[in-house]
Amino acid sequence: MAYNEYLQERIERIFTERKAPFFGKKMMGGYVFMVDEKMCVGLLVDKKTNEDLLMARIGEEAMEEAFTKTGCAPMDFTGRPMKGFVFVKPEGFDMDEDLEYWIDLALDFNPKAKKSKK
């Protein structure tokens, strides 16, 4: 298993409460939640530190404020930060209200996000 199944369940519960049209799929060695056919949030385990990471697609406009939050860092999956995406370490999503914050940011950005090319 390359991701935390308990965290997956927590995220699914929040999406269900928000009545978001989501589905999940294994991707990039982790698990990604898609909303309207677009990557919204995901989870994986950092291979260097062995800690859970939450990935959130929040858009560039929300990045500055997001970086003031505990545990938030640029998403640099390939060694180059991806615009509009952040990684959040466990201390930034352990509490339900913190996890809800990140999911709500991602859901707010989702309508503006572009679909990936097939």
DSSP string, 11-65: HHHHHHHTT--EEEEEETTEEEEEETTEEEEEEEE-TTT--EEEEEE--GGGHHH
Which of helix, strand or coil describes residue 88?
strand
pLDDT at 4 over 60: yes
**pTM of structure:** 0.92
**CA gap 93, 69 in Å, rounded:** 10
Task: For the chain, list the domains and their CATH numbers.
Answer: 5-111 (3.90.1150.30)
**CA gap 49, 17 in Å, rounded:** 32
**pLDDT, tens only, 74-105:** 998 677 888 999 999 999 999 999 999 999 99
Instruction: Please state, in angstroms and as integers, the Cα–Cα distance from residue 64 to each residue in 30, 100, 110, following that order.
Output: 26, 19, 18
**CA gap 38, 96 in Å, rounded:** 24
pLDDT of residue 25: 94
**pLDDT, tens only, 62-71:** 999 999 999 9
**pLDDT, tens only, 21-60:** 999 999 878 999 999 999 999 999 988 899 999 999 999 9
1 confidence band (pLDDT: 50, 70, 90): low
